Structure 1
Amino acid sequence: MQSSERASSYSKPAMFFHWATAVFILVGLFAINIRGPKGTDSRLFWNSVHIWAGSLILALSIMRLLWKLWHGAPAELAHSPVQLFMARLVHLALYLLIFVQPLLGIAMVNTGGNAVTLAGTGWHIQWFSKDPVAHQFLHDAHFLIGNAAYWLIGLHAFAALAHHVVFQDATLTRMSRFSRDR
């Protein structure tokens, strides 16, 4: 699709992938933060919610990337070179987050000696064998990236709001117009 033919807003499927991913990120972060003490039923339940959220984020991210590769994205809005660079950098970091974090989670659980089990499905994901050294590294990486996600998501939301309120451009609205016929 040539840039002159590209829509000014994202398509409904692209918006769905974006907002569904955002919801599951929030669910996953919520679940991991309220899960409770080790060995409790609460912890088991919220860990399951966290794992489901991460699995859905990964699945949605794959579909989102395939959709974007197949259908493209709207033309970038005219901004300064610094703003374009920062937007691309943050979006790259967000894409890495939605792919790498769930994969790290799976690897972390596996190297801890367990399969990732999707509650209620009977599905078990076991890609790696038990490895205590790798497990600790993956745990630390998953934890560090999870904490960095708060800042990255906050920066993304702040930038979208700044574009809407300060710059008064279509950056925010082109990802939130669900009423269009697309």
Structure 2
Amino acid sequence: MPIPSQQERFSRPAILLHWAIFLLVALAYLAIEMRGPKGSDSRAFWTATHFWAGCSVLILSLARVAWRSYKSPPAPVTAPPILQFLSTASHLLLYIFIIAQPILGILTVNLAGHPINLAGLGSFTVVGPDHDLGKSVKDIHETLGNVFYWVIGLHALAALWHHFVKRDNTLRRII
């Protein structure tokens, strides 16, 4: 596989934002899976880690969208229309996820009557408590989190399929 030219690759900021968001999403998932029992020091640590990672994902996602509007991505690798559609749809879903999921998380905590506490930065509240709405938003946040295990997994599998089966530069363009 030839190394993609500069015109075929994503820009350095786009690559950096992609992988930083990937690591933060992975950390947010790890944190939510690792938390311990309610009231434990482990739960407090992993919850704080989850909040930090989620808020960081939101900030970097907004920067990524702004960068993408400034610097267009390279043209997609030629593919049949159905694969092009699936690629576009999955990327759109991923962008929606990395922006909506942290917002839903913030709303979940605030609607439960708690501020978001970010060690070193203080705390903030976007909305006041509404326990009934909070339960619904929490359910949506958790359901999206579970659904996106699959979407993220399929995204990664598609990249590996392009790299190892199709042997094109799709993956190499973002590395």
Q: TM-score, normalised by structure 2?
A: 0.95
d(CA) in 1 for partners of 2:149, 2:155: 10
In the other structure, the counterpart of 1:80 is 80
Letter in 1 for 2:72: G
In the other structure, the counterpart of 1:127 is 126
Contact residue 164 and residue 170 of structure 1 kept, 8 A: yes
d(CA) in 2 for partners of 1:94, 1:125: 26
Q: Provide the secondary structure at the position in 2 that maps to 1:165.
A: helix
Q: Provide the secondary structure at the position in 1 that maps to 2:117.
A: strand
d(CA) in 1 for partners of 2:49, 2:157: 27
Superposition deviation, residue 125 in structure 1: 2.2
Letter in 1 for 2:57: I
* Residue 56 of structure 1 pairs with residue 56 of structure 2: yes
Letter in 1 for 2:63: M
Q: How many residues align?
A: 170
Superposition deviation, residue 34 in structure 1: 0.6
In the other structure, the counterpart of 1:144 is 143
In the other structure, the counterpart of 1:112 is 112
Q: Provide the secondary structure at the position in 1 that maps to 2:135.
A: helix
Structure 2, unaligned runs of 5 or more: 1-5
Contact residue 106 and residue 125 of structure 1 kept, 8 A: no
Out of 45-54 and 163-172, give the one that drifted further: 163-172
Structure 1, unaligned runs of 5 or more: 1-5, 177-182
Q: Which runs of 4+ in 1 moved over 2 A?
A: none
1:123-162 alpha-carbon deviations (Å, 9 max, x no partner): x221111111111001101100111111011000000000
d(CA) in 2 for partners of 1:16, 1:142: 26
d(CA) in 2 for partners of 1:129, 1:63: 27
d(CA) in 2 for partners of 1:105, 1:125: 13
Contact residue 8 and residue 75 of structure 1 kept, 8 A: yes
In the other structure, the counterpart of 2:46 is 46
1:154-177 alpha-carbon deviations (Å, 9 max, x no partner): 00000000011111111100000x
Q: Provide the secondary structure at the position in 2 that maps to 1:171.
A: coil
Letter in 1 for 2:97: L
d(CA) in 1 for partners of 2:139, 2:100: 14
- Backbone CA RMSD of aligned residues: 0.9
In the other structure, the counterpart of 1:180 is none
Q: Provide the secondary structure at the position in 1 that maps to 2:25.
A: helix
1:50-87 alpha-carbon deviations (Å, 9 max, x no partner): 00000110010011111100011101111000010000
Q: Provide the secondary structure at the position in 1 that maps to 2:166.
A: coil
In the other structure, the counterpart of 2:3 is none
What pairs up with 1:147-162 in 2 under 5 angstroms?
A: 147-162=146-161
Letter in 2 for 1:162: W
d(CA) in 1 for partners of 2:80, 2:168: 13
